Chains A and B, each alone.
Chain A
Amino acid sequence: MADHARDSHANATIMVVEDSPTQAEQLRYHLEQHNYNVVLAADGREALDFVQKCRPNLIITDVVMPGMDGFQLCQMIKADAALQDIPVVIVTSLTGWDDIARSLECGAENFLRKPYEPETLIARVDSILLNHELRKRNRVQMGLEILLGGKRHFVNSDREQILDLLISTYDEALHMNAELQARQAQIAHANQVLRGLYQISQQLAQSESPHVACATLLHGIGGLPGFSPGWIVLYDANGALHVVAAEHMTPAPECQAAPHCACLAVLNQETNAVGTQLLSCPCRNRGQPDAKLLAITPLQLTDEVVGAMVTMPEATSDKSTLDILDTVGRQISAVLERIALLDRLHQRAVELETANKELESFSYSVSHDLSSPLRAIDGFSRKLEQRLDLSADPESRRLLGVIRNSCQRMNALIKGLLEFSRLSRVPLRDMTVDMVTVVEDVIVELRQHTEYANFAISIDTLPASPGDFILLRQVWENLLSNAIKYSSTHPAPEVRVRGWRDGAFNVYAVKDNGAGFDMHYYGKLFGVFQRLHREDEYPGTGIGLANVKRIVSRHGGNVWAEGAPGAGATFFFSLPAGD
């Protein structure tokens, strides 16, 4: 709009007649932003009172209002000689010819179609005020000077022609508007459905039981435009129906119409129906002739129907309605399958845990019970050895020695097994363990009590970790004694201890330059009684690393190793840093 138009009407007063405070406030805001003075009236009667007191330059009125509507207001203004010169703009949705005809009848100067853009509103108001001014000046002429698109035009057409033009223009506008509204409704509907389906999907992902999942789904369906929820049934192992969730409708198995219920009959059919079926049922229509259709969607896992979802589409059911229900049906079926799998997995975990505990208990009992006869064999062998004098034949004495050595070795194995079993039961004491102090202490002890005292050791800075001091000392004892033992055949045995922080864990490493091991047998390394070297080379029970693994696992950490034959080995373990 040309600036001169705005200048000539700056500070003009505009009366807005609108019963919706929100829409009135929005109009006022846009008009005041462009320096118009705004007076608000909530309906036609209030507007008539105001217009006598403050004569506005323009009236913008809504149509549908309580008391006196916009058409009646306009008619009364145009019937009053003192007021008829005030231009009146009818704000309308242009939903039918009736709006146009009644606007022409009541003498309104212009329409403002809802929804309007603020720029359109201001341009229209500017234009009306300017044209009104021009017409006042040109009244003596045969035609009218008007301003359109910022340019002045002189129109001398007669009234009928103008009306024809106006009506044909509005006819076109009406068609376009209806089409636009239909498209807008379709898009809004599709958006609402998409948003609803997305929310259902999100909520179902968190469901952990069939009841919760089905109730969540029905609630979600209630939020979809054009759908009312109903109920969901699942078949048990014997094929009997069980209602797992219901909302808004009484489930067929529980309703009074049950003997004549068509949906119940469908549910009881032993058919593998694919896709949603629509049917009319007495359980829903309450005797009304316009019975609503019910939609029955089978819940299917692979080829097996495991239940059904019953809903009530509000609108005339078309293919897209059925597609939506099929999609939702597939979704809940997948969720039910996931829940069933998780349930089975949980059951299996519980069974495994129970079996593991029983095995531990068995292992402990057996180890414990084996100790007594073993002690008896060893004790009586010793007594027999003492009874035999030196004249006894050497072979007999050798055989007795073998028996006693075997007993002692078996005793060591049983002790190891009992210790391994104990480590899974002993409660953990929680304290901050200074690893450097522990390692130094273990080294001092190992130098005193092992035959492999001649080794070089370097200890880096080690981070402290929370844990059980006694058990973690046992880990270091096992790893360091192994490192010393397996590097004892090296001419210059060396052991290096390191530690560092890695994310939420502290990692520790014990490296030696000893015999190493073949990574091919790595799988056996931390197993109970598993050994990668012959006992006559490096004695031991084969339980130490299993103990290390159990202790570290109980602390929430991990153990691993790397090595090569003749090239030494490095053993690592990690513990939660705890801060």
Chain B
Amino acid sequence: MSAMVDDRAFRERLMLIFWREAGGHLTVLQHFAELSPPIALATRQDAFEAAFRAVHSLRGAARAVSEGDVEMLCLGIETSLSRGLHGEQEWLAAVHDDVRAAIGKLASACAALRPGGRDG
């Protein structure tokens, strides 16, 4: 078996792992998106941290499978959450709206990556 075939098989396996992993992270992020603003960081530190960890891991996973669009969407959400966590940005309703919209886009972008669900 050639190296190229090996790489392709590995890539397919990795995409399947990514697909499953993304589902778990998106569940955490969507739970966060459903919280009603304004959210006091002090009372929802756990939700912020869980969302941050989820989007951080998803970004790394997206980079591992070379899905640049998903990675950039994750980076935007991660940056907002990081600012919120570090007190650099007050978590206002409009900020939460933006993050919710970005999570929606992220879910759509991940859905489009379903293994076997697209050409190429």
Interface residues of A (CB under 8 A from B): 19-23, 25-26, 29, 62, 64-66, 114-115, 185, 188-189, 191-192, 222-223, 225, 228, 248, 285-286, 288-292, 314
How large, as a class, is the contact surface on chain B? 35 or more
Indicate if the CB atoms of A188 and B21 lie closer than 8 Å: no
10 further A-B contacts with Cβ under 8 Å, apart from A19-B53, A22-B65, A185-B72, are A19-B57, A21-B61, A22-B18, A22-B21, A29-B14, A192-B69, A222-B105, A223-B108, A228-B101, A288-B93
Q: Which residues from A are CB-within-8-Å of B14?
A: 22, 25-26, 29
Q: Which of B17, B20, B60, B93 has the most CB of A within 10 A?
A: B60
Q: Which residues from B are CB-within-8-Å of A21?
A: 17, 20-21, 61
Q: Which residues from A are CB-within-8-Å of B111?
A: none
Indicate if the CB atoms of A20 and B105 lie closer than 8 Å: no
- CA–CA, A281 to B77, complex, Å? 26
Indicate if the CB atoms of B64 and A22 lie closer than 8 Å: yes
Choose from A26, A189, A248 the contact partner of B72 (Cβ within 8 Å): A189
The contact sample of 16 A-B pairs, CB cut-off 8 A, is A19-B57, A20-B57, A20-B61, A20-B64, A21-B17, A21-B21, A22-B18, A22-B61, A22-B64, A23-B57, A23-B60, A25-B13, A114-B63, A189-B72, A286-B93, A290-B95
Mark interface residues in B61-105 (1 if CB within 8 Å of A CB, else 0).
101110011011101100000000000000011110110011001
CB of B11 to closest CB in A, whole Å: 10
Choose from A22, A185, A191, A314 the contact partner of B75 (Cβ within 8 Å): A185
Choose from B17, B63, B92 the contact partner of A115 (Cβ within 8 Å): B63
Q: Which residues from A are CB-within-8-Å of B94?
A: 285, 288, 290-292
Indicate if the CB atoms of A64 and B72 lie closer than 8 Å: no
- CA–CA, A510 to B36, complex, Å? 84
Indicate if the CB atoms of A314 and B98 lie closer than 8 Å: yes
Q: Which residues from B are CB-within-8-Å of A19?
A: 53, 57
Indicate if the CB atoms of A64 and B18 lie closer than 8 Å: no
CB of B6 to closest CB in A, whole Å: 9
Interface residues of B (CB under 8 A from A): 10, 13-14, 17-18, 20-21, 50, 52-53, 56-58, 60-61, 63-65, 68-69, 71-73, 75-76, 92-95, 97-98, 101-102, 105, 108
Q: Which residues from B are CB-within-8-Å of A291?
A: 94
Indicate if the CB atoms of A188 and B69 lie closer than 8 Å: yes
Given A20-B57, A228-B101, answer yes or no on A25-B17 (Cβ-Cβ < 8 Å). yes
Choose from A23, A65, A191, A248 the contact partner of B53 (Cβ within 8 Å): A65
Indicate if the CB atoms of A192 and B72 lie closer than 8 Å: yes
Residue of A nearest to B72 (CB): A188
- CA–CA, A36 to B69, complex, Å? 32
- CA–CA, A225 to B64, complex, Å? 22
- CA–CA, A286 to B92, complex, Å? 12
Indicate if the CB atoms of B17 and A22 lie closer than 8 Å: yes
Residue of A nearest to B7 (CB): A29
Indicate if the CB atoms of A114 and B72 lie closer than 8 Å: no
- CA–CA, A26 to B62, complex, Å? 11
- CA–CA, A292 to B61, complex, Å? 32
Residue of B nearest to A62 (CB): B60
Q: Which residues from B are CB-within-8-Å of A228?
A: 101
- CA–CA, A192 to B50, complex, Å? 28
Q: Which residues from B are CB-within-8-Å of A189?
A: 72
CB of A68 to closest CB in B, whole Å: 12
Q: Which residues from A are CB-within-8-Å of B17?
A: 21-22, 25
- CA–CA, A18 to B69, complex, Å? 23
Q: Which residues from B are CB-within-8-Å of A191?
A: 68
Residue of A nearest to B20 (CB): A21
CB of A118 to closest CB in B, whole Å: 11
Q: Which residues from A are CB-within-8-Å of B97?
A: 292
Q: Which residues from A are CB-within-8-Å of B60?
A: 20, 22-23, 62, 114
Indicate if the CB atoms of B65 and A225 lie closer than 8 Å: no
Indicate if the CB atoms of B69 and A23 lie closer than 8 Å: no
Residue of A nearest to B6 (CB): A33
- CA–CA, A417 to B84, complex, Å? 86
Choose from A29, A114, A314 the contact partner of B10 (Cβ within 8 Å): A29
Q: Which residues from B are CB-within-8-Å of A192?
A: 69, 72
Given A22-B65, A23-B64, A26-B64, answer yes or no on A223-B105 (Cβ-Cβ < 8 Å). yes
Residue of A nearest to B50 (CB): A66
Residue of B nearest to A224 (CB): B105
Residue of B nearest to A226 (CB): B76
Indicate if the CB atoms of A314 and B21 lie closer than 8 Å: no
CB of B115 to closest CB in A, whole Å: 13
Indicate if the CB atoms of B92 and A64 lie closer than 8 Å: no
